[in-house]
Amino acid sequence: MGREGDEEERESKEEDEDDFHTVDDDEEEEDDDDEELETEAVKSEKWKKYYSSKQRILLVGEGDFSFSLCLARAFGSAHNLVATSLDYQEHIAKKYSNGIGNVRELEERGCLVLYGVDAKEMSQHFFLRTQRFDRIVYNFPHVGFLFRENSYCQIQLNKRLVKGFLKNAKVLLRKEGGEIHVTHKEGDPYNKWELVKKAEKIGLVLHQVMPFRKNDYPGYDNKRAHGNLSDASFPLGDS
């Protein structure tokens, strides 16, 4: 997910909800121990741009898993990462020269890698439906080059993809402070996907729009992912 270019990374997040609970004396003692552990964890927290090693992060629609691996290397661990792909392992081996190697390193660092995960249905996945995430990331969502990029049919298919992703991501998002990050190209025809409008319709709020710079993520290689050129990168554009 190398050429330099800026994309807008849209971060949509649900409104915060208060969470209250009672605490007895035994729980207070346990809380003291927990606070010591939390203090130690804060000291070792590592960041890569908008992402922290303390966050539970779901990465959706990974190509050769190079974006996930970039975060894992920056954090020194991937225990808080779950990386998913619509492809199965045998397809990844055929499509991407570095795919299997990247997956192997991710798993060695503690990442859970899931195959055959449809972004439009992922909230029903047997494992994912039991989880909640601080960040859900989908870089350059695209259904594949079935029609011309600016054709009505192609635009409608991509609109359905982002709509389905957002609906499912909302279910898997932590209520307090959770954010959905979608990186996409700007300009025509991508603006016709109406990403912000679709997010607002399902109760998400646009929090921030930030430029995406590939150089911020060493090792990340955006892939076409479809057809004979699946292992090739694509230009990210100037917008």
66-75 helix and 99-108 helix, angle to the nearest 10 degrees: 30
Parallel, antiparallel or unpaired: strands 57-60 and 81-84 = parallel
Residue spans of the domains in the chain: they are: 6-16+51-229
Contacts of 229 (CB under 8 A, 6+ apart): none
Q: What is the pLDDT of residue 34?
A: 52
- What is the pLDDT tens value at each position of the chain, 239 positions in all? 433 344 444 444 444 333 333 334 454 445 555 555 444 444 589 999 999 999 999 999 999 999 999 999 999 999 999 999 999 999 999 999 999 999 999 999 999 999 999 999 999 999 999 999 999 999 999 998 889 999 999 999 999 999 999 999 999 999 999 999 999 999 999 999 999 999 999 999 999 999 999 999 999 988 877 777 777 777 676 42
State the amino acid at position 68 in one-letter form. S
Instruction: Identify the CA nearest to 184 among candidates 12, 60, 9, 5.
Output: 9
**What is the C-alpha R_g of the chain?**
19
Both structure tokens of 98: 């570095």
Both structure tokens of 123: 């909230």
Contact 66, 219 (CB under 8 A): yes
DSSP H stretches of helix in 97-140: 99-108
What's this model's pTM, rounded to 2 decimal places?
A: 0.80
For residue 211, the cross-strand partners are: 8
Architecture of the 6-16+51-229 domain: 3-Layer(aba) Sandwich (3.40)
